[in-house]
């Protein structure tokens, strides 16, 4: 039997498969516009690796998980379905006002926010003529102020349908307190226009705050029809080729979803690509014995960071896509525009790196494809971290002289330094921005990065990891699965479980009625167990975790607190203590003001249905032995500020690594520098671990 | 027993300075510059998360700064600008005073809100913390945050009932609030005792303390890794580079003088006058002078102290002129001179009231600065794309308080007006409901949150039609709301606004102002009956909801009873360029989206639409031709005689803006219309002299509310200046009836 994980990215469709006997294969196919042919190409590649046909592979496949960037692209490029919105009278403009300046700045980097004359809001999710008001109103307590006017509903929806809408978002005020009006609209529309994809704000995002809730609902609705068509097409193509298992879809929540769930909430697939990598690290790190890890994915244009803390990925409840804010309990992945393609330049007496990128075309100078401005990759080449003759396993020859010339002329000369110093500067500045981002994601939320191990992957990830890890005082770097690092997200998708999040807005003040709060959770748990059981998960395959959002009375921002069991049976007593402890951790001791009292806002339940785990492959299990030195070359190590003759290794399949720095391990799709004062060794599953001998 | 004396440390605090041989390589500099910016940002994140008030966490009425040991501000966050800029004065004041008496020690923090010591007004409280390295101050961190209530005669601290500053909230000169790491209980008790909302005040104080604590932790890490010299040198180089960058930029802009004015309707209760503030921006080489002399003497509660003036003037310098330079305000201030007259509304002296300074007066200053800086940039072809016509020109205050749904007292300032319109740009429309430029990150609270916290129900919250100033590029629309009391018998309001009897969001280059502020209450309406009948009224006019309209005092108090509907439309923004030059298709889109009425499309843009909303091209062309010839026929030349056309061979040697060129021919320089080359004036004189002048009441613009709904001693008028050659509208002024022509620009032509 086989298990297949797929990460459909913007350029490449990354494929990863593993057989029962732990043999694993990976393949990179080009993503195609229909997102399906690329997957089929990739399957052929995988099957070829196992020396069987696609049909033989699929027939024997028991798990088929995939992630797709199609919804993300749809939102960023504003190419969703023809959307209509039905809203409470007086609220037509919510999706245009976008919370005032919030619409101008959400998802923008600070440098862009500073440029007043260029700041604008994004194109609204629907033009005003497609947003129709109906008479209805519910108040803050869920009471009906004005009953739903069904004639309004029928008239407006008929008109919208006549205008050609394919999807309808129903966005009423306070619907998360009382969903009756939205549900009644769903009934009316189902009867009259069964072809319409309808999303209710009370279902998609039952949280207070009309702008993000409406935006989430609109995004969900506009993604739904195309997502459904795509999913159906893919499933059909796979079935034709023999797949019996249901293909599950990766969601940004960090889990995979069944077809029904994924089709109901396509909004949760937005931004799911980078989440696969985080989940993969969560699973692997548990096996490696690390409880907390920082995951860092560095490609050509961006650097993505996630966090696993005490075995669980860190989440946020709100994110942006295409500059629209939306509510989703997603795994937190933050990004900066720093990658191998980031361009270096001199402004005044300052050396800056990025955010401008040479991208794939024209690319870095050393690619010889027309790039003229020096990039991070050019600097890494000049320093000796990359082998000009073995880039991407030798498929692309790099022009080191051109890279050096560009750095000399554009960076070193204006700053009065040597090309090597300039290259080192570019490398260090890029690494410093990466460590600043990681610092922001750790220290700013109260964590000490030194308590974390770093998992570095993506094509350029391992090249910089040693530099920024030192800046943060980290002592261990893991290159997960070694040579799989460049399709690592596909592995992550495959290692995901089914995860559902259930939430209820339940404002309460001290003294809390624990029994009542337990009741809310029990209610959510009942729903969760029913859904999971329907999906085939029962008994020990099911895990339920309770969380509460707490705050000091009057505050707007909540702190997420994990509730350990029944509140009435003791967990409640610990709540205040847990909250103030976490609060102090975040904002410093004494920041809290206990006298204000504590409030609950939301009850949240994470329900996991465990899928079969991915068998680990073993290195050094087939008598391949340990990799021996392959060659050597001079490398400038920025931290040590000197050139050292550095041994290179090029392990063949199954070979283990056991080296002392300075060394460079050349893998097919990436290069792993092992700095002086550190050593690198293989773990059983092929991951490489770099350890610094001295504490930083 | 000896007489107590003020403790006097023999020497003030020592300030760290880098050793003479210390050096900073460009790479470490770049790394630290980035790191220090992040550290400053983290202060802001902390405040937003800890503060209990939507004012901080949503509207983001605060800012954070990081300064060197002497208090020179090197990093200002992208929040309310004046809050960040002002910090240098407060730190220097702290060093000067507390350094002499109680001493400044590691672990100390100082609180101040004294407007007469540099703060903007009492509710803006700064908490400043010296960061020490081995006994010397290496840096200062600090934040300034608008607090909900720190006392004073009026709820919320905008003391419109005060007659002098002694009835205003307590003014605290720099005072030690944290002593070597411990909050001073005695001080805090006094401080909280002043407030109607002590819990909020306590949490806000903790937010600011936490921000400093967090920043110091980070700075300590940087010191351990890079050493103190690297930090000191990064500060110094950031300041030098920013100053140099600003001076170089100024050299690319022509010299000249740009004048702007702001009127303020009412200075206090019972007042019916309109007051004047004015500003001349003078640019000579690489230096700027803001001269606000000639503004009216201090009066009522429309005053600001010099510290606030200085900080307010800096917003467009940082955000429009220097947006891409490091936001090191102290360095930019080195390029600027400020001239003011003590005892005037923009440089108030005790005992003038200043607790309301951030509402009328700070807006006045920021508007003056934005207008003059944008006029200056208009003279530069290189920089005119950065120009933004006046954005939301004032704040529509709605302080509400009383008994809440649960019987407990509440008070808050509704922050809905934060979604103001951003002014038109020289190449694009403004941003609808896009906020205030000087508070780029401020967001509007979701109305569900307001309905949850306060006893109100919104009938609507929407973009107001015809609110954005018409122009070739339209100003961004403003917001309007209607509220009824909910689950309570009444709501108490305090209002405070200016720009109610005229629009104070003027346009640029012939663009029109946006709409004026409206406060309106419909007394005795039948809302309850309508709700019960299944209707949620969308218009507060008596023809729809019954009852009677009342215009509440815009500097006062009123009570909204259960059957009253409160309506307000907030301040919007100015347009850019002649509205007759607007693309008719853009006007059609505006009409479709409900931002412009057909009436304004027709009357002001000359655009006629058919029933389906499509542009009727022929009718539009005819209507525009008619309007242009009416401008030529009906106006008279402002001063002197109509000029003739300048020959084609004349050379363009400068510009006032892209519609007004300075041409040189036969040794004579003249200002002419760029479209038809009609001479308007000799260079150095006001181009308006040669324009056709049209004077009319404000509400001759059909979208402006009637100024006479309030009884005033004077009603301002609209003066439009058009080219006698082609009829193009070149400037629109707001002026007092009878006053002479307002000469706003002199651009110096460089020779050789």
pLDDT tops 60 at residue B267: yes
d(CA A21, CA A24): 9
Predicted pLDDT at B641 = 81
Nearest 5°: phi and psi at B724? -70, -20
B172 confidence band (pLDDT: 50, 70, 90) = very high
Contact A121 B594 (CB under 8 A): no
Q: What is the mean pLDDT of residues A305-311?
A: 90
Which of A607-616, B13-22, B184-193, B515-524 shows the lowest per-residue confidence on average (mean pLDDT)? A607-616
d(CA A295, CA A456): 6
Enter the DSSP assignment of A595.
G
Enter the DSSP assignment of A568.
I
Of the candidates A114, A149, A592, the beta carbon closest to that of B78 is on: A114
What is the per-residue burial (b if ≥16 Cβ within 10 Å, else e) of B462-485? bbbbbbbbbbbbbbbbbbbbbbbb
pLDDT tops 50 at residue A696: no
Predicted pLDDT at A622 = 58
pLDDT tops 50 at residue B550: yes
pLDDT tops 70 at residue B425: yes
B78 confidence band (pLDDT: 50, 70, 90) = confident
- What is the per-residue pLDDT across B643-674, written as a single tens digit (0 to 9) for each? 899 998 999 999 999 999 999 988 899 999 99
A201 confidence band (pLDDT: 50, 70, 90) = very high
Greatest Cα-to-Cα distance within chain A, rounded to the nearest angstrom: 81
pLDDT tops 60 at residue B563: yes
d(CA B375, CA B316): 12
Q: What is the mean pLDDT of residues A146-168?
A: 98
Q: What is the mean pLDDT of residues B358-370?
A: 95
Q: What is the mean pLDDT of residues B507-527?
A: 97
Of the candidates A120, A428, A591, the beta carbon closest to that of B31 is on: A428
Contact A90 B538 (CB under 8 A): yes
Contact B376/B256 with Cβ under 8 angstroms?
A: yes
Predicted pLDDT at A32 = 83
Cβ of B529: how many Cβ atoms within 10 Å?
Answer: 12
Q: What is the nearest CA distance from B16 to chain A, expressed in angstroms?
A: 25
A624 confidence band (pLDDT: 50, 70, 90) = confident
Of the candidates A97, A120, A424, the beta carbon closest to that of B479 is on: A97
Token pair for residue B48?
Answer: 């937003």
pLDDT tops 80 at residue B9: no
- pTM (predicted TM-score): 0.93
Q: What is the nearest CA distance from B59 to chain A, expressed in angstroms?
A: 9
- What is the per-residue pLDDT across B575-613, written as a single tens digit (0 to 9) for each? 999 999 999 999 999 999 999 999 999 999 999 999 999
Point out which residues pair with B402 in neighbouring strands: B410
A357 confidence band (pLDDT: 50, 70, 90) = confident
Q: What residue has token string 């290159």? A: A479
- What is the per-residue pLDDT across B460-476, written as a single tens digit (0 to 9) for each? 999 999 999 999 999 99
The residue among B498, B485, B486, B487 whose CA lies nearest residue B566 is B485
- What is the per-residue pLDDT across B224-249, written as a single tens digit (0 to 9) for each? 989 999 999 999 999 999 999 999 99
Contact A114 B435 (CB under 8 A): no
Token pair for residue A495?
Answer: 């290692």
List Cα–Cα distances, A634 to A379, A435, A644, B569, B674, in angstroms.
Answer: 14, 26, 6, 70, 64
Helix residue ranges, H only, B77-197 = 81-85, 87-98, 185-193
Select the more confidently predicted residue: A460 or A410: A410
Q: What is the nearest CA distance from A233 to chain B, expressed in angstroms?
A: 38
- What is the per-residue pLDDT across B282-325, written as a single tens digit (0 to 9) for each? 999 999 999 999 999 999 999 999 999 999 999 999 999 999 99
Q: What is the nearest CA distance from A494 to chain B, expressed in angstroms?
A: 36
Contact A110 B78 (CB under 8 A): yes
Q: What angle do CA B490, B491, B497 make, to 5 degrees?
A: 150
Select the more confidently predicted residue: A395 or A255: A255
pLDDT tops 60 at residue A652: yes
Enter the DSSP assignment of B473.
B
Point out which residues pair with B465 in neighbouring strands: none
d(CA A194, CA A135): 23
Q: What residue has token string 């300046």? A: A101
By the CB < 8 Å criterion, does B178 face chain A? Answer: no
B278 confidence band (pLDDT: 50, 70, 90) = very high
Contact A117 B434 (CB under 8 A): no
- What is the per-residue pLDDT across A13-65, written as a single tens digit (0 to 9) for each? 889 999 988 888 888 888 888 888 999 999 999 999 899 999 999 999 999 99
d(CA B16, CA B707): 58
By the CB < 8 Å criterion, does B385 face chain A? Answer: yes
By the CB < 8 Å criterion, does B38 face chain A? Answer: yes
Token pair for residue B12?
Answer: 């003030």
By the CB < 8 Å criterion, does B614 face chain A? Answer: no
pLDDT tops 90 at residue B353: yes
Of the candidates A90, A99, A588, the beta carbon closest to that of B213 is on: A588
By the CB < 8 Å criterion, does B222 face chain A? Answer: no
DSSP three-state, residue B553: coil
Contacts for A557-565: CB closer than 8 Å, 24+ residues apart: A557/B48, A557/B49, A557/B57, A558/A601, A558/A602, A559/A583, A559/A586, A560/A315, A560/A604, A563/A521
A658-660 vs B479-485, strand pairing mode = unpaired
d(CA A677, CA B97): 52
Predicted pLDDT at A265 = 94
- What is the per-residue pLDDT across B44-57, written as a single tens digit (0 to 9) for each? 988 987 787 777 77
% of chain B surpassing 70 pLDDT: 98
Greatest Cα-to-Cα distance within chain B, rounded to the nearest angstrom: 97
The residue among B498, B37, B53, B468 whose CA lies nearest residue A114 is B37
Token pair for residue B304?
Answer: 């600001």
The residue among B632, B79, B267, B541 whose CA lies nearest residue A101 is B79
Predicted pLDDT at B595 = 97
A695 confidence band (pLDDT: 50, 70, 90) = very low
Contact B432 A104 (CB under 8 A): no
User: How many residue contacts between A and B have a Cβ separation below 8 Å?
Assistant: 242
Of the candidates A110, A149, A555, the beta carbon closest to that of B534 is on: A149
Q: What angle do CA B61, B67, B72 make, to 5 degrees?
A: 105
- What is the per-residue pLDDT across B666-695, written as a single tens digit (0 to 9) for each? 889 999 999 999 999 999 999 999 999 999
Q: What residue has token string 């600003």? A: B246
Q: Where are the beta strands (DSSP E) in A188-314?
A: 197-200, 247-250, 256-257, 293-298, 303-309, 312-313
The residue among A653, A688, A685 whose CA lies nearest residue A672 is A688
Q: Which residues of A touch B27 (CB under 8 A)?
A: 351, 424-425, 428-429
The residue among A321, A324, A389, A404 whose CA lies nearest residue A96 is A324
Contact A591 B213 (CB under 8 A): yes
A321 confidence band (pLDDT: 50, 70, 90) = confident
Report the run of H or E that residue A15 belongs to, with start and end: strand A12-19
Predicted pLDDT at B635 = 84
DSSP three-state, residue A218: helix
The residue among A460, A489, A485, A479 whose CA lies nearest residue A688 is A479
Q: What is the nearest CA distance from A173 to chain B, expressed in angstroms?
A: 7
Contact B616/B633 with Cβ under 8 angstroms?
A: no
Q: What is the nearest CA distance from A581 to chain B, expressed in angstroms?
A: 14
Q: What is the nearest CA distance from A115 to chain B, expressed in angstroms?
A: 6
d(CA B33, CA B222): 11
Q: What is the nearest CA distance from A429 to chain B, expressed in angstroms?
A: 6
Contact B444 A424 (CB under 8 A): no
Contact B347/B341 with Cβ under 8 angstroms?
A: yes
- What is the per-residue pLDDT across A568-580, written as a single tens digit (0 to 9) for each? 888 888 888 888 8
Q: What is the number of alpha carbons within 13 Å of residue B597 lying toward its C-beta?
A: 11
d(CA B399, CA B156): 7
Enter the DSSP assignment of A411.
I
Select the more confidently predicted residue: A166 or A110: A166
Mutation target to probe the A interface, by most A beta carbons within 10 A, among B435, B438, B483, B527 is B435
Select the more confidently predicted residue: B397 or A685: B397
d(CA A19, CA A17): 7
Mutation target to probe the A interface, by most A beta carbons within 10 A, among B50, B78, B331 is B50
Mutation target to probe the B interface, by most B beta carbons within 10 A, among A91, A93, A337, A636 is A93
Select the more confidently predicted residue: B441 or B701: B701
Enter the DSSP assignment of A367.
G
Q: What residue has token string 């510059």? A: B33
Helix A419-442 to helix A461-471 angle (10° resolution) is 70
Q: Which residues of B touch A94 (CB under 8 A)?
A: 461
Mutation target to probe the B interface, by most B beta carbons within 10 A, among A117, A208, A338 is A117
Token pair for residue A191?
Answer: 């009867």
A483 confidence band (pLDDT: 50, 70, 90) = confident
d(CA B671, CA B460): 49
Of the candidates A102, A121, A588, the beta carbon closest to that of B210 is on: A588
Predicted pLDDT at A588 = 65
Q: What residue has token string 């194109």? A: A123
Contact B534 A135 (CB under 8 A): yes
A428 confidence band (pLDDT: 50, 70, 90) = very high
Contact B466/B503 with Cβ under 8 angstroms?
A: no
């Amino acid at each position: 039997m086989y298990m297949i994980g797929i990460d459909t990215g913007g350029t490449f469709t990354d494929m990863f498969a593993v057989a029962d006997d732990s043999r694993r294969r990976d393949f990179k196919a080009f993503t195609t516009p229909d997102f399906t042919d690329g997957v089929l190409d990739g399957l052929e590649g995988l099957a070829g690796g196992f020396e069987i046909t696609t049909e033989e592979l699929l027939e024997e496949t028991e798990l088929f998980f995939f992630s797709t960037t199609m919804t993300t692209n749809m939102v960023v490029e504003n190419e969703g379905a023809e959307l209509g919105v039905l809203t409470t009278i007086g609220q037509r403009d919510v999706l245009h006002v976008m919370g005032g300046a919030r619409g101008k700045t959400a998802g923008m980097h600070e440098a862009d926010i500073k440029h007043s004359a260029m700041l604008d809001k994004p194109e609204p999710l629907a033009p005003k003529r497609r947003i129709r008001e109906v008479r209805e109103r519910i108040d803050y307590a869920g009471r009906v102020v004005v009953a739903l006017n069904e004639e309004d509903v029928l008239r407006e929806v008929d008109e919208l349908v006549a205008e050609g809408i394919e999807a309808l978002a129903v966005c009423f005020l306070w619907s998360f307190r009382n969903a009756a009006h939205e549900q009644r609209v769903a009934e009316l529309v189902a009867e009259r226009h069964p072809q319409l994809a309808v999303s209710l704000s009370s279902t998609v995002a039952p949280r207070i705050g009309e702008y993000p809730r409406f935006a989430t609902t609109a995004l969900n609705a506009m993604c739904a029809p195309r997502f459904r068509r795509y999913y159906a097409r893919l499933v059909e193509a796979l079935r034709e080729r023999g797949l019996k298992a249901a293909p599950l879809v990766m969601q940004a929540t960090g889990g995979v979803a069944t077809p029904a769930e994924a089709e109901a909430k396509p909004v949760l697939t937005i931004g799911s690509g980078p989440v696969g990598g985080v989940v993969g690290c969560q699973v692997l790190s548990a096996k490696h014995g690390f409880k907390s890890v920082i995951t860092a994915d560095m490609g050509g244009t961006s650097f993505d960071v996630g966090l696993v803390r005490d075995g669980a990925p860190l989440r946020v409840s709100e994110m942006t896509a295409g500059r629209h804010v939306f509510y989703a309990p997603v795994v937190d992945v933050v990004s900066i525009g720093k990658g191998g393609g980031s361009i270096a330049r001199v402004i005044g007496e300052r050396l800056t790196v990025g955010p401008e990128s040479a991208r794939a075309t024209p690319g870095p100078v050393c690619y010889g494809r027309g790039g003229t401005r020096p990039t991070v990759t050019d600097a890494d080449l000049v320093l000796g971290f990359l082998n000009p003759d073995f880039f991407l396993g030798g498929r692309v020859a790099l022009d080191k002289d051109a890279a050096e010339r560009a750095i000399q002329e554009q960076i070193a000369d204006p700053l009065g330094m040597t090309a090597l110093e300039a290259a080192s500067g570019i490398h260090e500045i890029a690494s410093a921005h990466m460590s600043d981002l990681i610092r922001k994601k750790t220290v700013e939320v109260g964590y000490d990065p030194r308590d974390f191990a770093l998992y570095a992957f993506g094509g350029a990830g391992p090249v910089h990891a040693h530099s920024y890890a030192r800046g943060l005082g980290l002592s261990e770097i893991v290159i997960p699965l070694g040579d799989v690092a460049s399709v690592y997200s596909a592995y992550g998708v495959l290692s995901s479980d089914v995860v559902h999040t259930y939430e209820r807005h339940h404002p309460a003040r001290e003294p809390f009625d624990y029994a009542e709060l337990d009741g809310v959770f029990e209610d959510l748990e009942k729903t969760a167990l029913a859904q999971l059981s329907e999906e085939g998960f029962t008994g020990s395959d099911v895990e339920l975790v309770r969380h509460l959002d707490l705050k000091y009375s009057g505050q707007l921002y909540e702190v997420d607190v994990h509730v350990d069991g029944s509140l009435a049976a003791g967990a409640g007593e610990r709540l205040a203590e847990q909250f103030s402890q976490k609060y102090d951790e975040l904002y410093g001791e004494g920041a809290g003001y206990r006298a204000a009292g504590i409030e609950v806002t939301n009850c949240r339940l994470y329900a996991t249905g465990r899928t079969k785990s991915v068998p680990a492959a073993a290195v050094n299990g087939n008598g391949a032995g340990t990799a021996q030195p392959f060659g050597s070359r001079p490398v400038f190590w920025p931290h040590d500020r000197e050139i050292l003759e550095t041994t290179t290794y090029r392990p063949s399949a199954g070979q283990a690594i056991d080296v002392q720095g300075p060394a460079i391990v050349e893998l097919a799709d990436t290069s792993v520098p092992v700095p002086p004062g550190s050593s690198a060794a293989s773990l059983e599953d092929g991951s490489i671990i770099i350890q610094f001998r001295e504490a930083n | 027993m000896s007489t107590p004396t003020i403790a006097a440390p023999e020497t003030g605090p020592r300030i760290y300075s880098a050793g003479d041989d210390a050096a900073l390589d460009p790479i470490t500099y770049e790394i630290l510059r980035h790191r220090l910016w992040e550290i400053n940002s983290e202060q802001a994140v902390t405040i937003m998360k800890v503060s209990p008030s939507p004012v901080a966490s949503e509207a983001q009425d605060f800012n954070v700064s990081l300064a060197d040991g002497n208090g020179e501000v090197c990093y200002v966050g992208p929040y309310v600008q004046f809050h960040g800029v002002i910090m240098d004065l407060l730190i220097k004041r702290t060093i000067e005073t507390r350094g002499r008496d109680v001493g400044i020690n590691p672990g100390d923090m100082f609180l101040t809100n004294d407007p007469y010591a540099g703060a903007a007004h009492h509710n803006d409280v700064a908490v400043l913390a010296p960061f020490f390295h081995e006994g010397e101050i290496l840096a200062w961190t600090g934040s300034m945050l608008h607090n909900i209530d720190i006392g004073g005669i009026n709820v919320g601290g905008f003391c419109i009932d005060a007659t002098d500053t002694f009835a205003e909230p307590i003014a605290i000169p720099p005072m030690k609030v944290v002593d070597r790491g411990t909050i001073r209980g005695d001080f805090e008790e006094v401080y909280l005792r002043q407030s109607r909302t002590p819990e909020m005040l306590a949490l806000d104080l903790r937010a600011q303390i936490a921000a400093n604590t967090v920043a110091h932790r980070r700075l300590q890490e940087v010191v351990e890794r890079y050493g103190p010299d690297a930090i000191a040198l990064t500060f110094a180089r950031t300041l030098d580079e920013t100053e140099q960058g600003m001076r170089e930029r100024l050299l690319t802009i022509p010299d000249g003088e740009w004048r702007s004015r702001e009127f303020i309707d009412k200075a206090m209760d019972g007042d019916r006058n309109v007051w004047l503030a004015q500003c001349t921006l003078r640019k000579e080489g690489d230096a700027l002078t803001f001269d606000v002399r000639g503004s009216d003497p201090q009066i009522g509660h429309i005053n600001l102290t010099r510290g606030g003036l200085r900080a307010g003037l800096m917003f467009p310098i940082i955000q429009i002129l220097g947006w891409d330079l490091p936001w090191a305000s102290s360095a930019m201030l080195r390029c600027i001179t400020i001239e003011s007259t003590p005892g005037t509304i923009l440089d108030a002296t005790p005992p003038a009231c200043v607790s309301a300074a951030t509402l009328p007066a700070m807006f006045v200053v920021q508007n003056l600065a934005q207008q003059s800086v944008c006029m200056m940039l208009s003279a530069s072809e290189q920089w005119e794309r950065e120009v933004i016509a006046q954005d939301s020109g004032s704040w529509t205050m709605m302080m509400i308080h009383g008994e809440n749904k649960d019987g407990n007292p509440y008070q808050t300032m509704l922050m809905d007006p934060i979604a103001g319109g951003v002014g038109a740009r020289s190449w694009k429309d403004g941003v609808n409901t896009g906020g205030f430029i000087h508070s780029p990150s401020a967001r509007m609270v979701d109305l569900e949150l307001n309905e949850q916290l306060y006893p109100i129900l919104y009938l609507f919250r929407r973009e107001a039609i015809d609110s954005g100033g018409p122009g070739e590029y339209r100003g961004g629309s403003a917001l309007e709301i209607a509220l009824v009391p909910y689950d309570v018998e009444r709501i108490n309001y305090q209002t405070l606004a200016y720009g109610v009897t005229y629009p104070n969001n003027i346009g640029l280059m012939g663009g029109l102002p946006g709409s004026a502020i409206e406060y309106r209450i419909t007394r005795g309406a039948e809302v309850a009956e309508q709700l019960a009948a299944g209707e949620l009224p969308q218009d507060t006019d008596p023809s729809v909801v019954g009852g009677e309209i009342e215009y509440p005092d815009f500097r006062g108090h009123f009570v909204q009873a259960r059957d009253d509907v409160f309506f307000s439309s907030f301040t919007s923004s100015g347009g850019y360029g002649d509205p007759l030059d607007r693309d008719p298709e853009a006007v059609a889109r505006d009409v479709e989206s409900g931002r412009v009425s057909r009436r304004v499309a027709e009357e002001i843009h000359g655009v006629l639409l058919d029933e389906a909303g499509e542009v009727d091209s022929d009718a539009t062309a005819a209507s525009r031709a008619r309007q242009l010839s009416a401008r030529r026929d009906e106006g008279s030349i402002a001063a002197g005689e109509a000029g003739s056309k300048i020959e084609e061979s004349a050379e363009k040697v400068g510009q006032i803006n892209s519609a007004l060129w300075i041409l040189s021919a036969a040794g004579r320089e003249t200002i002419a219309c760029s479209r038809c080359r009609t001479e308007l004036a000799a260079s150095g004189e006001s181009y308006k002299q040669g324009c056709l002048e049209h004077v009319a009441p404000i509400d001759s613009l059909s979208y402006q509310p009637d100024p006479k709904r309030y009884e005033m001693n004077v009603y301002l008028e609209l003066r439009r200046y058009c080219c006698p050659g082609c009829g193009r509208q070149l400037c629109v002024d707001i002026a007092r009836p009878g006053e002479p022509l307002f000469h706003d620009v002199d651009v110096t032509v460089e020779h050789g």
